[in-house]
């Protein structure tokens, strides 16, 4: 390495964006024996960045699955180049262009335990809002694509979460899927990946993003600022086979009741509120299911990258920021008025 220090943004405490400190004298990390050092070309923003900074997770002191150790370099969705390898890693990996799977699974024997115990890059260990980051070699996937670094950094968390939701909901050819929050990172991923499965997509979004969501493949768009969402769904398709929900809140119960008998309501977020009121009778009388979904498996992550490499998936990049602009990027992320993903380019 030519330099022993790097530029990075350190989260120094829980709080507002003034808790983010841009520095140019942060030591370059050294890879452990089974790790790689990645020169970060781009890193995407996620809810985890904001919620960790704001101490919004249950318990108030932690990140995704553990206590936050300050100072912390946030940033989960890394695209970059391998510039150094640990003692147990094949030197042939030097120079690989990689996209990093930010999920660091636990030690559980089964899929669900491993996911529930998982740590997250940029939360339980330093992430990609820096010029360099170390990651386990198994999490850095070599990628062959003509997509830009920023476009590839838009993929990991959003699209892998979306693929997991569709798998958990058993969404297949011919199904009608309702997507809430369709303009966000996960929402745009859900629209695209559901269309890839030849499902009919009903997308809920605001008017400024309606045309963009339709261009991504939504068959029907309900503009939540112009009409009641449930009325809009009913007038377009009647009932749906599945709901992919990252919003929750007051719409949870009425959307659950728009399911056909045997339908599945998959939940992976609750930005409009985590506590909901439902009537259990339509649930059990109509054989409907409520399914939780979180993170993804390694094979699901590889599947998503494969879709990008073959051109079957076009990552949606909303805007890029310089590393020093991370506070402004997080403010922009919080206002939510964009389509797709925000990405920082160190």
Q: What is the CATH number of the domain that holds 17?
A: 3.90.180.10
In a domain, 307, yes or no: no
CA distances from 269 to 142, 281, 295 (A): 30, 24, 11
| DSSP 8-state class, residue 156 | H
How far the first Cα of the chain sits from its last, in Å, is 17
144 and 201, same domain (yes or no): no
CA distance 304 to 4: 35
308 belongs to a structural domain: no
Q: Name the pTM for this structure.
A: 0.95
* Residue 167 to residue 173: CA distance in whole angstroms: 12
d(C-alpha 125, C-alpha 139), whole Å? 14
Residues 119 and 194 in one domain: no
pLDDT of residue 60: 57
Q: Tell me the β-bridge partners of 342.
A: 319
**197 and 163 share a domain?**
yes
pLDDT of residue 149: 98
Q: Please report whether residue 87 resides in a domain.
A: yes
pLDDT (0 to 100) of residue 67: 77
Scanning 21-176, the segments in alpha helix (DSSP H) are: 47-53, 111-116, 149-153, 156-168
16 and 105 part of one domain = yes
Q: Is residue 112 part of a domain?
A: yes
State whether 132 and 270 are in the same domain: no
137 and 222 fall within a common domain: no
- State the pLDDT at residue 319: 97
Which positions ≥6 away from 4 have C-beta within 8 Å? Answer: 27, 28
Question: Residue 226 falls within a domain, yes or no?
Answer: yes
CATH number at residue 271: 3.40.50.720
pLDDT of residue 187: 97
**Upstream peptide bond of 71 is cis (omega within 30 degrees of 0):** yes
Total domains, the chain: 2
Instruction: Say what the pLDDT of residue 3 is.
Output: 84
| pLDDT per residue of the chain (346 residues) written in tens, 0 to 9 | 558 999 999 999 999 999 999 999 999 999 999 999 999 999 999 999 999 999 888 665 667 666 789 999 999 999 999 999 999 999 999 999 999 999 987 665 567 766 767 789 999 999 999 999 999 999 999 999 999 999 999 999 999 999 999 999 999 999 999 999 999 999 999 999 999 999 999 999 999 999 999 999 999 999 999 999 999 999 999 999 999 999 999 999 999 999 999 999 999 999 999 999 999 999 999 999 999 999 999 999 999 999 999 999 999 999 999 999 999 999 999 998 999 999 999 9
Are the C-beta atoms of residues 104 and 125 closer than 8 Å to each other? yes
Asked whether 326 and 20 are in contact (CB, 8 A), the reply is: yes
Query: In terms of domains, do 193 and 276 share one?
Result: yes
Whether residue 301 lies inside any domain: the answer is no
What pLDDT shows up at residue 2? 58
The pLDDT of residue 336 is 86
d(CA 263, CA 252): 14
Phi, psi for 188 (deg, rounded to 5): -65, -35
Question: What pLDDT is recorded for position 61?
Answer: 62
Q: Are residues 53 and 147 in the same domain?
A: yes
Whether residues 267 and 249 fall in one domain = yes
Residues in contact with 120: Cβ distance below 8 Å, sequence separation at least 6, in sequence order = 48, 63, 64, 65, 76, 102, 103, 104
Residues of the domain holding 73: 5-155+315-345
Residues 9 and 151 reside in one and the same domain: yes
Whether residue 309 lies inside any domain: the answer is: no
Q: Are both 332 and 272 inside the same structural domain?
A: no
Q: 116 and 17 share a domain? A: yes
Q: What is the pLDDT of residue 38?
A: 98
Angle at 76 between CA 70 and CA 82, to 5 degrees: 105
């Amino acid at each position: 390495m030519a330099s022993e220090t790097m530029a990075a943004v350190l989260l120094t405490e829980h709080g507002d964006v003034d808790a983010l400190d841009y520095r140019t004298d942060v030591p370059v990390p050294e890879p452990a024996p089974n790790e790689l050092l990645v020169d970060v070309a781009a890193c995407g923003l996620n809810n985890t960045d904001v919620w960790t900074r704001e101490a919004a997770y249950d318990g108030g002191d932690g990140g995704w699955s553990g206590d936050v150790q300050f100072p912390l370099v946030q940033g989960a969705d890394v695209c970059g180049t391998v510039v150094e390898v640990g003692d147990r890693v094949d030197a042939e990996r030097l120079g690989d262009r990689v996209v990093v799977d930010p999920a660091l699974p636990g030690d559980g024997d089964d899929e669900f335990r491993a996911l529930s115990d998982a740590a997250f890059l940029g939360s339980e260990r330093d992430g990609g809002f820096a010029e360099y980051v170390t990651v386990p070699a198994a999490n850095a996937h070599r990628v062959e694509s003509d997509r830009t670094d920023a476009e590839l950094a838009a993929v990991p968390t959003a699209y892998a979460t979306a693929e997991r939701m569709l798998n958990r909901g058993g969404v297949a050819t011919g199904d009608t899927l309702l997507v809430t929050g369709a303009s966000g990172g996960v929402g745009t991923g859900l629209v695209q990946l559901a269309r890839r499965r030849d499902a009919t997509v009903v997308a809920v979004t605001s008017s400024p993003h309606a045309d963009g969501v339709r261009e991504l493949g939504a068959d029907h768009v309900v503009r939540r600022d112009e009409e009641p969402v449930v009325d809009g769904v009913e007038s377009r398709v009647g009932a749906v086979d599945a709901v992919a929900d990252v919003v929750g809140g007051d719409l949870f119960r009425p959307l659950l009741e728009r399911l056909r008998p045997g339908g599945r309501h998959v939940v992976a977020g609750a930005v409009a509120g985590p506590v909901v009121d439902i009537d259990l009778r339509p649930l059990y009388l109509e054989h409907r299911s409520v399914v939780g979904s979180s993170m993804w498996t390694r094979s699901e992550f590889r599947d998503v990258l494969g879709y990008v490499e073959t051109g079957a998936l076009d990552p949606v990049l909303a805007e890029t920021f310089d590393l020093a602009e991370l506070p402004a990027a997080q403010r922009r992320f919080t206002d939510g008025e964009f389509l797709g993903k925000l990405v920082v380019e160190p």
